[in-house]
Structure 1
């Protein structure tokens, strides 16, 4: 069925600068794709993948160039063949899911094969800073039951960060994210501190493309792939290096690919994680559907924005809650 495509970019400034290894973010701009058929609406939001130079300006141009093909009508399978993994496909794929949801009157989660959805325990992320500041920020998440700490690849300083947060938050589940900051020489210096602090997950310690550096590392803490595994093809090629796969819709190109990855990761004996790129509730809502299949959930992105959308996801007792009014049959047109 033909549709009308609307495209625009939004700046999405953060409430405060956010630091990870090698980057400081002050905004997380996104592309929003909207499909209309005269009665129903489908929307998708994507921030892209910054380390692949996949940015809103290029995503918008990619989708604009395909406007005639998109407006003629296509399904998610055709889209998966038409565009590579990345933000442009994510925005359009999610818009197609919501459009189908509104046309059918069924929630997206039911279309995705679920019998229902539940609130999901989510991590709350603490950006890299000095140990005392990180401990204060972690403790300020008064409802948090799970924390994710950003590290910078400095073993002694990162160890101090982890110890400081654990001292302030003795009961919390803690994972750490190195964002490619380590290598085979430095990582063994960090691991004893993670074990001593009861850290449950180490995300992306080494650089994308250098996964072999992990082969000789003792798995004192389960290791998750983020930047190393973008889509289903890379899952097949690189899964042996990792215990957990972090699926992000911006990386893999949408909920369609994300669900395929989650099922395949399970078949390969891996644990599954869902993450986000600090988008609004419109980006968190499709990831919430994927999160129903996941062991670890990191969907705190909207809390870092200066302003979220309305209606929005909610955070209650350390969990993310997303109703059909945010994205799906009950969402505003």
Structure 2
């Protein structure tokens, strides 16, 4: 009975101490966040409360459970120590990833607050995302390695595996050729500035926005809310269109097929008046010209500009609808016609 009471006191006291330390750390972070609102670091660090509690609890239990002198625990001290050590390694890895992510996100937020270049921000955001994933994977691998080393059986296995490291390396390299290719392609995309999160791209005939970039795949959100997932090696081995490269401004065209009698000058003047009231047009450039002719009609091309892909699409649709409606109302004879009557014989009087 006395040992159970001591067990409850020791473990309960450890929990209270851990809660007090964690609460004090949270209050300090909250106070620092209030004093330094220009950086979100302290607010982001407060999200690490759970892994911090886990690490403190594992450390406290590993130190205090022997003080309880409870026979069931002391008889299994080796197993209990091993379990708590594994929990401590896992909690430490979790806490490390959280702290690194908070520091990286804070640095990016401060950089974004000072930079107005949207293209540069997308590039840095892509690099930050990939770096965070690399750190998370690296910390996880290191923690798993430390956890395996704590098992005596794996120590001997590791010694035997080192003897055949060359053969295993060759086999693993051949087997993981595709995975490693995607991994290096992910670094090439992140630091080669080929494609960034938020870029408007056209891949395999699909138009959309880059939504996520990882070390192995890239997700494109299409205009109809579908997600197209592609391996990152696709963007390093095949050509693709990046409409955001060098800036978001775009130039678009609208083609109309008209009769030879179409009043091109009047169409040009009407397009200019319409664009003056079109919110999607950025007023950089416009034009209307006949770009082709055939025995049955002419091809009229209207050229407009916009500040991004969404506005360009809206402007092109609006121009197409307006010109077709205007020709239908004002000059119906300018629309394409299919001639079914016989041509007059000029040789007859």
TM-score by length of 2: 0.21
Q: Which has the larger radius of gyration?
A: 2
Structure (1/2) with the larger helix percentage? 2
